[in-house]
Amino acid sequence: MLIYLSRLIALPTTASVALALAAAVSAQDPHEHHQHGHTMALDGDGMVMNFNSDILPKDCAAISADLDIEVRVGRQYARQGITFGYDSHEWKVLPCSRLTVTLINEDQVRHQWMVHGLPRYLYPEGMFHLEVNGGKRKTGAFIVPSDDRTYLAHCDIAKHMEQGLKAQVIVGSGSGNLTSIPGISGRPFPDDYSKSR
């Protein structure tokens, strides 16, 4: 329902319809905005930005699959020597699939799951973004394009990516692993114990 309202507001409407919609939206909690080209829903638990569950990428004739992805984030998922982690750092999905992602924050600090490099005609700044306050969860959907590609998913809060919150979404056969994905592509500067021998 929220999603359809935001799509309607983006279209030209008569004054009366616009007023009715504005009243409907302002009566809602969470609030929904359409500004600066972003579609955003936020409330006390966090935020979903640039969600898209119904508009197909230009290169997709149909949604190929519906995938529900649950992502847990918190200190208990951190690898040794770093602070944070996701419970998984890689998701393999079909081209043109619709991903409904739920980010569950098991920490007390705020975290994000932000995907980059999506088509900009559909996702402002090429981004789909979930942000969740401590102990909360948020769900949002987006549709991936058809090409084989590896997308970065990370938490953009200062130092959180370096401290473990870097992951990848592989569409189709992907375009290779990103660097420094915990448990997948190692650290940029592995520990060197050779000099201590």
Q: To the nearest whole angstrom, how small is the minimum distance from the Cβ of residue 100 to Cu ion?
A: 21
Residue ranges binding Cu ion (CB under 5 A): 111, 155, 157, 160
Measured from the CB atom, the residue of 9 and 155 that comes closer to Cu ion is 155
Cα 19 to the center of its chain, rounded Å = 31
Q: To the nearest whole angstrom, how small is the minimum distance from the Cβ of residue 71 to Cu ion?
A: 12
Measured from the CB atom, the residue of 101 and 171 that comes closer to Cu ion is 101
| 39-49 residues labelled b (16+ CB within 10 A) or e (exposed) | bbbeeebbbbb
Measured from the CB atom, the residue of 111 and 129 that comes closer to Cu ion is 111
Asked if 177 contacts 89 with a C-beta cutoff of 8 angstroms, the reply is: no
Measured from the CB atom, the residue of 41 and 114 that comes closer to Cu ion is 114
Inter-helix orientation angle 15-26/2-10, to 10°: 150
Q: Is 37 exposed, middle or buried (0-12, 13-18, 19+ CB in 10 A)?
A: exposed
Q: To the nearest whole angstrom, how small is the minimum distance from the Cβ of residue 130 to Cu ion?
A: 11
